[in-house]
Amino acid sequence: MIEVAAEPFAYTFPPGKTALVVIDMQRDFVEPGGFGETLGNDVSLLTAIVPTVRALLDLFRAQGWPIVHTRESHSPDLADCPPAKRDRGAPKLRIGDEGPMGRILVRGEPGNDIIPELAPMPGEIVLDKPGKGAFYATALGDILRLKGITHLVFAGVTTEVCVQTTMREANDRGYDCLLVEDATESYFPEFKQAAIAMIRAQGGIVGWTTDFERLAAAVR
């Protein structure tokens, strides 16, 4: 077991049974002209974590540990997009509309891909998910079970939406979850801090949090 200094107390994980899950580091969320910006967000806030997410990927790659990349995406006919999700609010462009990087949040479009700096390597799992949580309507549970995974380390965007939702889903399924604080970001800094506080409150009710350096120090 490897022990990492973390909050609310040390996180221990078995190296062979631990996967990194990088949530939705897609052009649609990180670059101008994508889904995130159509909702009125300042996407430049998210780019700050890219080097840390890359370092985390490199750490797991160097150990040969499993990596899952997720993409929030819908099929071109939008059959997996609830009307409530598409119709809500007053975005500049809605899911499925044509934007500068192709159709917003649609699978296979340039904007829906993971940013080039964090591109998946051969052998890493790329999971398309229609919801905020990565377990909903995907094979993630089966994939992790077949690999014997019991512990999950999380990075990606946005902290309080897809990252936290997936951590909660994973926690309910019995996984011990660790969030790397400087490898996750939100369009709303106060929401990021609130999500971190919620995750580790009450003795780690959803999981643990740490930072990249403490995780790397424990692994090296």
Binding residue (CB under 6 A) for ligand C5J from 59, 101, 149, 162:
162
**Residue 129 is a catalytic residue:** yes
The smaller minimum CB distance to ligand C5J, of residues 13 and 26, is found at 26
CB contact at 8 A, 154 and 167: yes
Residue 29 in the binding site for ligand C5J (CB under 6 A): yes
| Residues 105-124 contacting ligand C5J, CB under 6 A | none
Q: Does 158 bind ligand C5J (CB under 6 A)?
A: yes
Residue 132 known to be catalytic: no
24 is catalytic: yes
Please tell me the distance from the alpha carbon of residue 126 to that of residue 123, in angstroms, as a whole number: 9
Q: Where are the alpha helices (DSSP H) in 64-100?
A: 83-87
Task: Encode burial over 183-193: b for 16+ CB neighbours within 10 A, e otherwise.
Answer: bbbbbbeeebe
Choosing from 113, 162, 177, 192, the catalytic residue is 162
- Per CB under 6 A, does 25 bind ligand C5J? no
* Nearest to ligand C5J of 57, 162 (CB atom): 162
Separation of alpha carbons 41 and 57, rounded Å: 26
Q: Of 49-57, 86-94, 156-164, 171-179, which part binds ligand C5J (CB under 6 A)?
A: 156-164
Read off the tokens for 141: 């549970």
- Minimum CB separation of residue 15 from ligand C5J in Å reads 28
Check binding of 31 to ligand C5J (CB under 6 A): no
CA 44/CA 214 separation, integer angstroms:
26
Report d(CA 16, CA 14) in Å as an integer. Answer: 6
Strand partners, 26: 114
Residue 195 · residue 186 · CB < 8 Å:
yes
Q: How far is the CB of 10 from ligand C5J (least distance, A)?
A: 28
Query: Which residues would be at the binding site for ligand C5J (CB under 6 A)?
Result: 24, 29, 72, 132, 157-158, 161-162
Q: Which are the catalytic amino acids?
A: 24, 129, 162
